[in-house]
Structures are given as C-alpha cells and as structure tokens.
Amino acid sequence: MLLAKVLSRVLGEGQLTIIDAAGQSHRIRGPRPGPGVTMRVHDRWTALRLVLRPRLAFGEAYMDGKLTVEDGDIYDLLDLLGRNMAALEQTPFVRWSYGFQKLIRAIEQHNPIGTAQRNVAHHYDLKDQLYDFFLDRDRQYSCAYFRTGKEPIEQAQTDKKQHIAAKLLLKPGQKVLDIGSGWGGMGLFLGQQFGVDVTGVTLSKEQLAVSSRRALEGGLADRVRFKLLDYRQESAQYDRIVSVGMFEHVGAAHYLEYFRKVKDLLKEDGVMLLHAIGRMEPPGGTNTWLKKYIFPGGYTPALSEVLSAIERVGLWATDIEILRLHYAETLRLWRQRFLSNRERIKQMAGYDDRFCRMWEFYLAGCEVAFRYMNQMVFQIQIARRQDAVPLVRDYMVDAERGAATVTSSMAAE
C-alpha cells in the first residue's frame, strides 16, 4: 500500500495501523515511543488522494466517512501526525503543495470589500445556536489567555479581554474603534468596565444583530454601538483601536492598505492593540482544506510580513507579545464542548453528521497546529507617536493586578 510506504518513512514517534480497502492491516512503528492509532481507509481512490494531496484529502475523507478512526478519535490521529509533522512536510507532494500555494496566494487573498463580506458570511453567518454550544457565554471566538493553563474557558476569556484592555491605556470618555467586533463581547466589556465610547464594525449580519441586541439589553446602547461596515469605509478618528481575530481575514496583499487606514483612523496620540494568529516561520500559504471549507480568503501571517507593513506606513510597534500554547488550550476546551453537544447541534441547530465531522476536524486540526506546528498568536501595540505609551510596560501588569483585585472582591461579596 503506497500510503503505508510513505508514512513509514516519516513516522518517527508512535505507532500507526492502516486498514486498507481490502481489510489488510499495515502497521507502522516509529523508532521512538508514542501514541498508537488505527485508521481505516475505505476505498483505494481515497488512499491515493491521501498521498497526492494530503492537506486537502485528509479532511475531506474524514468528512465523507471514507476515513475512520478505529481506536480513539480524529484528534488522536491528527495528534500522532502532528508529532511527526516536520518529517511529513518534507515529503515531495507536501513540499510541492507549499510551493504552489506561495505562488498563487496573492490571487487567493485578493480581498476587496464585496469578497471580504462573502468570506465572512461563509463562516460567521452560520446558524446562531451553533456557537453557543462550544464558546463561552460572551462568545469570544479568539484565543483565550491562560495564566496557569488550568482556568475554565470563561475565566480565560475574561482574562484575555482584561489583558488587552491593559495595553490600551483606557480613560473614561475616550473614543474606541473595534475592527471586527464579532458578537460584541470586547466592545461591551470596554464600554462597561472603562466608561469609553465604543464603535464596533463587522461584516457579519448575524453578529451585528446579536451585538446590537446585547448593547440594548445591557443598557449600554448610548455608548456602545455596532455597524455593518468594512473598516475601510470608516471615516471618524479614534483615541484607541482594538482588533481581535480579524486580521487573519485581511490577506497579505492588503496589509499596507490596512495599516494606512489604521493610521488615518488613529488620533495623533492614539494607540491600537492588534491581536491575531500568526506563524513562527517565514511567509507561506493557507492550509488547503481550511481555506476551502472553513475560512475562505484566510491567511495567518509571519510576523515579518506584519512588521514590514507597519514600518512602511510609518507607525510605531511599541510592544509585541507572543502567545504560544494559549490557543491550543482554547481549542481543546472548544473541541470538548463541541463533542459533548454534538447531538444537540444536530437536533437544535439542524446540522448533519458531515457538518459535525467537518467542525470536529477543524477544531482538532487547529489545536494540533498550535500544539506541535507553526501557529502562534501575536499582540502588537501600535501608535503614531513614540511617546504615546509609558517608557516601561509595568503599567500593563499594574492594570491587570488592579482588575484582578476588583474581580476577587466582587466574587467575595
């Protein structure tokens, strides 16, 4: 079996048993101990596709039931492959795939306003109930912040919002722009906790409806509002700008456009906090399966690409922090919640088995990417002037400690 031969050359850790379409078992043992997984490939064409186009075929085969895991689940299989990914990425077909994606990424990431809205709708305008089954109550759909790695998702997401707020140097009455405002959690948190005036812009009609309702129900509509608007169409100036989990949808060809607009939107003494997924290696392409089924137009940049655009526009990167395993833990908790609610998702949200397998593969694959591969999260504090923030970053720690004290006092009462 060709698939078994290919994987036998790259499996350095663990054990993989492949059952082919004829029912024959092919056992592969790596030289180092590790987890053991059995997968069944149900037809010969699927086995060949797994060799020729693995980055697309693995996800599609699992979605369509043409690849199943006999002992364990799809996370166990992806975990085993992730531990051996460095060797897998050196196989000829994977290397060719990477090279081809680099060549065509400018075309794939062309992101004018109309295309941007269609790409957002593909993922964020799904049935509203879906996200309640695996996100926290505030629907924070981005990397949480784990101080110890053991916090429940609700606490870790609250800590994320506070961590970002500490870098924004907020004062009551300031005007804040939230680019990619999602379901409104960040904007509502800043408006309520810090007394700032927030405008959130989103391209998702579903998210706009939820966030606007939340602002009205929370009594914050007088100072927190949301608009269905591309950030490139905003014209006002702001004291602060925050953007969480949106930059991944901009596309590398549009980074200069993005930061030029940020510079226009920021007041002279303004500060921005950009929170986004990135890669810890040179620029590349987007995973083929993820691009086709989950995030069309999406791309996670190398830090070098982002900083180059910031420099060329003439903005200051006043602070940079890299969050490494935080998103792996976030995705682990999301995946566990999704699986525990799988039947309810099918019944209440009306999605079928194929959809559920697609999302299980998405959550598991992304967790593995952050745990073993090249994915990370960066937070970049950006300003127009070099004196817009204090000389040392102690103020961030002080702000978070003060918030933690308040939270603890409220809990004790």
**Structural domains of the chain ordered from first start:** 2-90 (3.30.1050), 113-412 (3.40.50.150)
As a whole number, mean pLDDT of residues 299-316 equals: 97
- Report how far residue 79's alpha carbon sits from residue 231's, in angstroms, rounded to the nearest whole number: 38
Phi-psi domain of 217 (left: phi exceeds 0; alpha: psi -120 through 50; beta: other): alpha
- Report how far residue 67's alpha carbon sits from residue 60's, in angstroms, rounded to the nearest whole number: 9
pLDDT, tens digit, for every residue of 111-133?
666 665 565 555 555 677 889 99
Q: Name every residue whose Cβ is closer than 8 Å to that of residue 41 and which is 6 or more positions away in sequence.
A: 3, 18, 19, 20, 21, 47, 50, 61, 66, 67
pLDDT, tens digit, for every residue of 41-56?
999 999 999 988 888 9
Give the H/E segment covering residue 193: helix 185-194
Q: Would you place residue 369 in the very low, low, confident or very high pLDDT band (cuts 50, 70, 90)?
A: very high
Q: Is 325 exposed, middle or buried (0-12, 13-18, 19+ CB in 10 A)?
A: middle
- Report how far residue 204's alpha carbon sits from residue 226's, in angstroms, rounded to the nearest whole number: 11
Token pair 């059952």 is at which residue? Answer: 19
Among the listed residues 198, 323, 339, 366, the single catalytic one is 366
Q: Would you place residue 409 in the very low, low, confident or very high pLDDT band (cuts 50, 70, 90)?
A: very low
pLDDT at 300 over 60: yes
Active site (annotated) includes residue 366: yes
In the chain, what is the greatest distance between 2 CA atoms, to the nearest angstrom?
69
The CA R_g of the chain, rounded to the nearest whole Å, is 22
Give the residue among 219, 217, 220 at the shortest CA–CA distance from 199.
220
- Report how far residue 140's alpha carbon sits from residue 158's, in angstroms, rounded to the nearest whole number: 9
CB contact at 8 A, 35 and 26: no
The model carries a pTM of 0.89
